[in-house]
Homo-oligomer: A and B are copies of this chain.
Amino acid sequence: MTQERFIAADWGTTNRRLYLIEKGEVVWTERDDLGVAARPDFEGEIGALRARFGAMPILLAGMVGSSIGWRETPYVPAPADLKALAAQCFNVGEGVHIVPGVALVGAGRADVMRGEEVQILGAAAAGLVPADALLIQPGTHSKWAEIRNGVLTRFTTAMTGELFGLLRQHSILASALTHRVDANEAFDRGVREGLLRDLSASLFGIRAAILTGGLDPKDASSFASGLLIGAEVAARLGDYEDGAAYILADAQFGALYAAALAIAGREAHIIDSHAAFLSGIIRIESLLP
Contact = CB atoms under 8 A, between A and B. Distances in A.
Interface of A: 75, 103-105, 109-112, 141-142, 156-160, 162-163, 166-167, 169-172, 197-201, 203-205, 207-209, 211-212, 214, 228, 231-232, 235-236
A156 B198 CA distance: 11
A201 B112 contact: no
Nearest to A157: B204
Given A112-B208, A112-B212, A199 B201 contact: no
Contacts of A211: 103, 110, 112
A200 B199 contact: yes
Interface centre among A159, A172, A232 (most CB of B within 10 A): A159
B110 A200 contact: no
Given A112-B212, A200-B232, 19 more contacts: A103-B208, A103-B211, A103-B212, A110-B209, A110-B211, A111-B204, A111-B205, A142-B200, A157-B201, A157-B204, A158-B204, A160-B200, A162-B171, A163-B163, A163-B203, A199-B231, A199-B235, A200-B228, A201-B235
A166 B112 CA distance: 23
A198 B209 CA distance: 24
Contacts of A160: 200
